[in-house]
Amino acid sequence: MKAAVHHIYGDESTIRFEQVLLRKLEASEVLVKVVATTVNRTDCAYLTGKPVIMHLVAGFRKPRNPITGSDFAGTVESVGEKVSKFRAGDRVVGLDADQCSSHAEYVIISEEEGIAKVPDECSYAKAAASMEGAHYAYNFIKRIPDIQGKSILVNGATGAIGSAGLQFLKYHGAKVTAVCRTAHDAIVRELGADDIIHYDREDFTEADTTFDVIFDAVGKSTFGKCRRVLTSQGLYISSEFGPKIQNPVLALFTPLRKGQQVRFPIPTDTNKSISYALERLKDGSFKPLIDREYDFEEIKEAYHYVLKGQKVGNVVLKFDH
Ligand SMILES: NC(=O)c1ccc[n+]([C@@H]2O[C@H](COP(=O)([O-])OP(=O)(O)OC[C@H]3O[C@@H](n4cnc5c(N)ncnc54)[C@H](OP(=O)(O)O)[C@@H]3O)[C@@H](O)[C@H]2O)c1
């Protein structure tokens, strides 16, 4: 099969197309012909080996797994002899945030790990765009107790994580203030934001109000700077480690005292996030944002764009089988 492969860490210029042999399926595995996948920030971390801590998971000197790709939507081509939930021809979607090598014509995944049927009427592109950002958003917001009625600021509300998070928070009844660039005002309004702060005009950390929760979905702020706009028992959640890798440390120590808290959730249980995202898709409360679509052959262009850190929602790669 044709796959996008990288043997060294770096930017998109390290990617080559190679013919890769498909291995034999294990008894509990499913072979999926990929129709759509995304190029996302998780993939960028595996491609570049940045932040440096990525070398611990992706391979110390060079990428352990040369094929990037963490999500997919496509059709089941064949199944192992013990697979009971899927059969050839099923429309499926899936995610493995530790890389399932979906930037290739086919992907192999265990039926128990990160795969589900695509809801009727949902396109493959939309299904693929409902995976990575939604997975992190779900895992971050589930650490917020009693969301209903809370005043929550989402920084980076147009990103893959932020746009999913904003919609999930609205579903659970939060009052959401979204932070985005002025040009994206209409997008976040459409996603359900109650209030909007334009970061190119105003610094939200200098707002004259306080929030119960600050969810920094792009990791551009710090707990220190946000404290004055957090309520006295407020919660700070970031999708990034912080400029001094302080967020995991603060998440360990702030719960030992009363007052403002930091959470740095480690996403777990991909099956749960997938079923949550698909339920929201089905009930209409979640519409994944798709910024651009590229053909698989244009994967370098897609990475180049995503690496800039300015995509609006998700960037989809399509296969023409
Ligand atoms: N903790 C984890 O396990 C984990 C997993 C995946 C990703 N991440 C990290 O989470 C972050 C978000 O990922 P993502 O895929 O959602 O990102 P993304 O889609 O690339 O985010 C792009 C968005 O960020 C917004 N943005 C850029 N600079 C901003 C600023 N200074 N203030 C506010 N918004 C700004 C932009 O909004 P405008 O267009 O409106 O300017 C753009 O729409 C990334 O830093 C990524 O590395 C963490």
Q: What is the pLDDT of residue 316?
A: 98
Using alpha carbons, select from 300, 81, 281, 314 the residue that is nearest to residue 187. 314
Q: How far apart are the first and last CA of the chain?
A: 11
Phi then psi dihedrals of residue 49, to 5 deg: 70, 25
Cβ–ligand 1 distance for 248 under 6 Å, the answer no
Q: How far is the CA of 195 from the centre of ligand 1 (A)?
A: 19
Q: What pLDDT does residue 268 have?
A: 87
**Which residue puts its alpha carbon closest to atom 12 of ligand 1?**
218
Instruction: Say if residue 66 is preceded by a cis peptide, omega within 30 of 0.
Output: no
Ligand 1 in contact with 159 (CB < 6 A)?
A: yes
- Check pocket membership of 199 for ligand 1, CB cut-off 6 A: yes
Query: Hey, whose CA ends up nearest to atom 6 of ligand 1?
Result: 42
Print burial letters for 211-229: b (CB count within 10 Å at least 16), e (below 16): bbbbbbbbbbbbbeebbeb
d(CA 229, CA 226): 6
According to the model, what pLDDT value does residue 160 have?
A: 98
Q: Which residue has the least CA distance to atom 31 on ligand 1? A: 220
pLDDT for 90 equals 98
Q: Which residue among 99, 239, 273 has the greatest number of ligand 1 atoms within 8 angstroms of its CB, and so is best to mutate?
A: 239
Which residue lies with its CA nearest to atom 39 of ligand 1? 310
- 27-84, pLDDT tens digit by residue? 999 999 999 999 999 999 999 999 998 999 999 999 999 999 999 999 999 999 999 9
Residue nearest to atom 11 of ligand 1 (CA): 218
Distance 59 CA to ligand 1 centre (A): 24
Q: Is 310 in the pocket of ligand 1 (CB under 6 A)?
A: yes
How buried is residue 269: exposed, middle or buried, by Cβ count under 10 Å (0-12/13-18/19+)? middle
* Complete domains list, the chain, with CATH: 2-130+288-318 (3.90.180.10), 133-263 (3.40.50.720)
**pLDDT value, residue 321:** 82
- Positions in the chain whose pLDDT score sits under 50: none
- Assess whether the C-beta atom of 48 lies below 6 angstroms from ligand 1: no
Cβ of 292 below 6 Å from ligand 1? no
Q: In whole angstroms, give the CA distance from residue 12 to residue 44.
A: 9
Which residues lie across from 295 on neighbouring strands? 318
Residues facing residue 198 across a β-bridge: 180
Q: Which atom number of ligand 1 is nearest to the Cα of residue 241?
A: 1
The pTM (predicted TM-score) of the whole model is 0.97
pLDDT of residue 237: 98
